Chains A and B, each alone.
Chain A
């Protein structure tokens, strides 16, 4: 095997072999293998749910592995806490850094190991000077005295990196650091990463953006479904090969969207703007149509969906369902208008995990179940049972907590909850994140079936094959704006990725002038696909 030869070279900074981890019944990592060399930037790629984050958390000391080999600089390692991994020279930079918002930037860097002056008192002057030196070394301008509150994600990451350097970490793991960064911020981060590599540190870089992986890294390891797949030198591989390894199957066979007649517009969004989040978002979704909302993580897709559903506020623009205006910031009104929303974060937003299956399924419809304002468990169970059955939710009884269920089963409960409202529009954010392959296919079949029955579906997904396989039309969001509207036949991976990294400037697709379009247009276009 390829990675064996790499691993045998000298003293790898990090060696993980056949590492496994389960959480209750859920297997998060079957067999993770990763060998990172000093002076190298090693890409770790895989779809969501491939086990990358679990792998990282084992190295960081957040989780303990159930099985497998874990060496750090050739020495066996087993961290019970983040303090231990830090002491061993491991620094992890998460997608959303964890800083203390009330404290200064400098205090954040040195917390717990502040520089001491006379009488073991904290020497602030020395710390400020050292922080300024670190920032200068990284080539960034950040005031060491300012509060961490209100820093951009990019600057927060820089502070995490400064912390890692001041710790003299030999292994730096960056978990999707670029997800929320703009172009120049990414450039700055890469310059810093290269500098650290040249100092002989090992860097593990997790990203979904292939252009970045190929730009920055020298080696790439691919994971899929909690398993190690392959390790390749970047020079010897291609995007196509990596995608093939990641997906591991033909796109077409997994995403069976059957053509359905497209009807009248159900959802019409026009000029939707929330300052700082998204701008002038205009589109529509028709009955029987699945519209995919693609783009990079952090581009503003989920935020758009949340604003449409009324969970988040927006500053201007309008949302109409079947021609009727939906008031802003009122999910209950959106539900009455016929919207359903399966959110991104299942455990915090989609479900009340501590509540029973019944309580969750009837969570939205219980108002209409009540008789004379009264509601009994019996009435709720009677209403929830059939929906659980239709979605084939696997549970011992309806009063079981949703907490202990697998991700796929939980997603079924969420979908059941919303289908019970008999919606005309289903907004579904990351429909198959963290779900095993079997249930994934079930969810896809269900979405296709619902569209066939005339439901309008707006689907947000970070998995390109899913979007391309399911959607009749793909809208691409980049930095809070819709940068492309691609019909099924023109939605190729290249076109979508292009638009998502804003290389596409609306040149060959959008019509810079026509904001609202002609009602018939979409239909023609759908007929073509």
Chain B
């Protein structure tokens, strides 16, 4: 028996320690609710990305006060990101369910052109109807994506890559080489692009209303929470008996509708629409969501974070020239931001899981 691997000097685990340690780990937090809230807020991704945003704005403003302090500076700060906020909110909802929607740029292009055509072909059409048409067409295109993904059981990446081509092809064949010019659009509609209420641009208000509504829905509705459950663990969601298909279709419908709305906003903001409007913007929307803390494999993050991510992307673009950096470098910076966001997430989660293992191991 000499080769017997001798049990170590304390051969058995002292059981009482195990329990206290395990229970300590899950002991209800002794913090007062208000302090707990403050703490979780401080740790939240939304806040840290907001801090980066404020830093960028501060730096640009110090270099050039008109960046923030002039009336046009303030307006542009809010106006420029409005369109991307809409796209990022929809994209975030889709990514939270562990999917992705690459077709939003094409949807945006389609409804932007549609907006122009409606005004040209039906002079005097109410602006509200045009907005509704943009939403509706976007929703239908999103529904097609959702049905293909949910019923075809095919990765969203492939499906929406396909519909990216198809929808863009529809715009191209519809528009041809013609383009919508500002002169084709009614003045009332164009005014929306610059109009302000209490110094806040109307388009930004639209984006904030949409953001709040979607954020409120995802946070307080049963079906909204199911988005997170599905993205967190799709198999478990099926075991729970959640209606996964319906939620996934819903997410794509939302993303499509918001991209449709963004198309109308595009037309109002820029006045001119060519058939390549919105090309490549899908990756910016994904980037905004990822930077804003939406995990690319779903289950966590908020539309608030995605929206702040969108504002950050656009603002960096505008701030770079102020800071003496040619704005050609903007995209490189965006790439670096995305990479650091995902690497940071990994480092943090690795540290957390190591802490948990160590805590359990001390038992």
- For the complex, what is the distance from the CA of A283 to the CA of B27, rounded to whole Å? 39
Contact B4 A517 (CB under 8 A): yes
If A101-B233, A102-B300, A512-B9 touch, does A114 touch B222 (CB 8 Å cutoff)? yes
Contacts of A522 in B (CB 8 A): 2-3
Contacts of B28 in A (CB 8 A): 132, 141-144
Among A6-14, A327-335, A410-418, A477-485, the one that faces the other chain is: A477-485
The verdict on A525 contacting chain B, using a C-beta distance below 8 Å, is yes
Give a binary string over B30-52; 1 marks a CB under 8 Å from any A CB, 0 the rest.
00000010000000000000000
If A182-B13, A184-B19, A185-B22 touch, does A111 touch B5 (CB 8 Å cutoff)? no
- For the complex, what is the distance from the CA of A152 to the CA of B19, rounded to whole Å? 11
- CB within 8 A of A111: which of B19, B225, B357? B225
If A152-B22, A183-B18, A479-B13 touch, does A101 touch B6 (CB 8 Å cutoff)? no
The verdict on B70 contacting chain A, using a C-beta distance below 8 Å, is no
Among B123-131, B150-158, B234-242, the one that faces the other chain is: B234-242
Among A25-33, A195-203, A273-281, A457-465, the one that faces the other chain is: A273-281
- A97-126 residues at the B interface, CB under 8 angstroms: 98-103, 107, 111-114, 116, 120-122
The verdict on A390 contacting chain B, using a C-beta distance below 8 Å, is no
Contact B3 A82 (CB under 8 A): no
- For the complex, what is the distance from the CA of A369 to the CA of B26, rounded to whole Å? 54
The verdict on A74 contacting chain B, using a C-beta distance below 8 Å, is no
Contacts of B363 in A (CB 8 A): 182
- For the complex, what is the distance from the CA of A517 to the CA of B219, rounded to whole Å? 62
- CB within 8 A of A510: which of B11, B15, B226, B353? B11
Contact A82 B6 (CB under 8 A): no
Contact B357 A98 (CB under 8 A): no
- For the complex, what is the distance from the CA of A184 to the CA of B16, rounded to whole Å? 7
Contacts of A276 in B (CB 8 A): 357-358, 360-361
Contacts of B231 in A (CB 8 A): 102
The verdict on B173 contacting chain A, using a C-beta distance below 8 Å, is no
The verdict on B7 contacting chain A, using a C-beta distance below 8 Å, is yes
- CB within 8 A of B241: which of A81, A99, A101, A122? A81
The verdict on A170 contacting chain B, using a C-beta distance below 8 Å, is no
Contacts of B9 in A (CB 8 A): 512
The verdict on A505 contacting chain B, using a C-beta distance below 8 Å, is yes
Contact A112 B361 (CB under 8 A): no
Contacts of A81 in B (CB 8 A): 241
Size class of the contact patch on chain B: 35 or more
- CB within 8 A of A485: which of B1, B11, B232, B360? B1
- For the complex, what is the distance from the CA of A193 to the CA of B28, rounded to whole Å? 23
- For the complex, what is the distance from the CA of A127 to the CA of B362, rounded to whole Å? 33
Contact B356 A280 (CB under 8 A): no
- For the complex, what is the distance from the CA of A45 to the CA of B37, rounded to whole Å? 48
If A100-B233, A141-B23, A143-B26 touch, does A482 touch B7 (CB 8 Å cutoff)? yes
If A150-B353, A152-B360 touch, does A482 touch B228 (CB 8 Å cutoff)? no
Contact A482 B5 (CB under 8 A): yes
Contacts of A141 in B (CB 8 A): 23, 26-28
The verdict on B183 contacting chain A, using a C-beta distance below 8 Å, is no
- CB within 8 A of B26: which of A113, A122, A151, A502? A151
The verdict on A154 contacting chain B, using a C-beta distance below 8 Å, is yes
Contacts of A519 in B (CB 8 A): 3
Contact B220 A122 (CB under 8 A): yes
Contacts of B220 in A (CB 8 A): 121-122
The verdict on A509 contacting chain B, using a C-beta distance below 8 Å, is yes
- Which residue of chain B lies nearest to A282 when distances are taken between CB atoms in the complex? B5
Contact B4 A510 (CB under 8 A): yes
Contact A475 B232 (CB under 8 A): no
Contact B242 A112 (CB under 8 A): yes
- For the complex, what is the distance from the CA of A199 to the CA of B27, rounded to whole Å? 27
- Which residue of chain A lies nearest to B220 when distances are taken between CB atoms in the complex? A121
- How many of chain A's residues have a CB under 8 angstroms from any CB in B? 73
If A102-B299, A276-B360 touch, does A517 touch B11 (CB 8 Å cutoff)? no
- CB within 8 A of A83: which of B16, B22, B241? B241
Contacts of A280 in B (CB 8 A): 8
The verdict on B29 contacting chain A, using a C-beta distance below 8 Å, is yes
The verdict on B352 contacting chain A, using a C-beta distance below 8 Å, is yes
Contact A483 B19 (CB under 8 A): no
- For the complex, what is the distance from the CA of A282 to the CA of B8, rounded to whole Å? 10
Contacts of A152 in B (CB 8 A): 22, 25-26, 360
Contact B15 A184 (CB under 8 A): yes
- Which residue of chain A lies nearest to B298 when distances are taken between CB atoms in the complex? A102
Contacts of B241 in A (CB 8 A): 81-84, 86, 112
- Which residue of chain B lies nearest to A487 when distances are taken between CB atoms in the complex? B1
- CB within 8 A of A279: which of B8, B233, B352? B8
- For the complex, what is the distance from the CA of A62 to the CA of B241, rounded to whole Å? 11
The verdict on A155 contacting chain B, using a C-beta distance below 8 Å, is yes
Contacts of A151 in B (CB 8 A): 26
The verdict on B178 contacting chain A, using a C-beta distance below 8 Å, is no
Contacts of B7 in A (CB 8 A): 481-484, 505-506, 510, 512
User: What is the minimal beta-carbon distance from B324 to any residue of chain A, in angstroms?
Assistant: 41
- For the complex, what is the distance from the CA of A514 to the CA of B240, rounded to whole Å? 52
User: What is the minimal beta-carbon distance from B333 to any residue of chain A, in angstroms?
Assistant: 29
Contacts of A102 in B (CB 8 A): 228, 231-232, 295, 299-300
The verdict on A515 contacting chain B, using a C-beta distance below 8 Å, is yes
User: What is the minimal beta-carbon distance from B21 to any residue of chain A, in angstroms?
Assistant: 10
Contact A515 B5 (CB under 8 A): yes
The verdict on B12 contacting chain A, using a C-beta distance below 8 Å, is yes
The verdict on B332 contacting chain A, using a C-beta distance below 8 Å, is no
- For the complex, what is the distance from the CA of A161 to the CA of B228, rounded to whole Å? 22
Contacts of B198 in A (CB 8 A): none
Contact B19 A112 (CB under 8 A): no
Contact B6 A122 (CB under 8 A): no
Contacts of B222 in A (CB 8 A): 112-114, 116, 122
- For the complex, what is the distance from the CA of A149 to the CA of B352, rounded to whole Å? 10
Give a binary string over B295-308; 1 marks a CB under 8 Å from any A CB, 0 the rest.
10001100000000
- Which residue of chain B lies nearest to A524 when distances are taken between CB atoms in the complex? B2
- For the complex, what is the distance from the CA of A514 to the CA of B219, rounded to whole Å? 60
User: What is the minimal beta-carbon distance from A167 to any residue of chain B, in angstroms?
Assistant: 11
- Specify which of B1, B356, B358, B361 lies most central, judged by the most chain A CB atoms within 10 Å of its CB: B1
Contacts of A478 in B (CB 8 A): 12
- For the complex, what is the distance from the CA of A275 to the CA of B25, rounded to whole Å? 17
- CB within 8 A of B239: which of A98, A120, A518? A98
User: What is the minimal beta-carbon distance from B342 to any residue of chain A, in angstroms?
Assistant: 16
Contact A509 B4 (CB under 8 A): yes
The verdict on B336 contacting chain A, using a C-beta distance below 8 Å, is no
Contact B232 A284 (CB under 8 A): no
Contact B353 A525 (CB under 8 A): no
Contact B6 A511 (CB under 8 A): yes
- Which residue of chain B lies nearest to A504 when distances are taken between CB atoms in the complex? B11
- Specify which of B2, B5, B241 lies most central, judged by the most chain A CB atoms within 10 Å of its CB: B5
- A146-188 residues at the B interface, CB under 8 angstroms: 146, 149-152, 154-155, 182-185, 188
- CB within 8 A of B5: which of A182, A475, A505? A475
- A280-328 residues at the B interface, CB under 8 angstroms: 280-284
- For the complex, what is the distance from the CA of A122 to the CA of B238, rounded to whole Å? 22
The 8 closest A-B pairs by CB, nearest first: A83-B241, A521-B2, A517-B3, A506-B7, A184-B19, A485-B4, A102-B299, A100-B232
Q: 10 A-B contacts, Cβ less than 8 Å apart? A: A100-B233, A107-B229, A111-B225, A122-B222, A122-B225, A141-B23, A182-B13, A282-B5, A506-B6, A512-B11
Instruction: Show the binding face of B for A, using Cβ within 8 Å.
Output: 1-9, 11-13, 15-16, 18-19, 22-23, 25-29, 36, 219-222, 225-226, 228-229, 231-233, 235-242, 295, 299-300, 352-353, 356-358, 360-361, 363
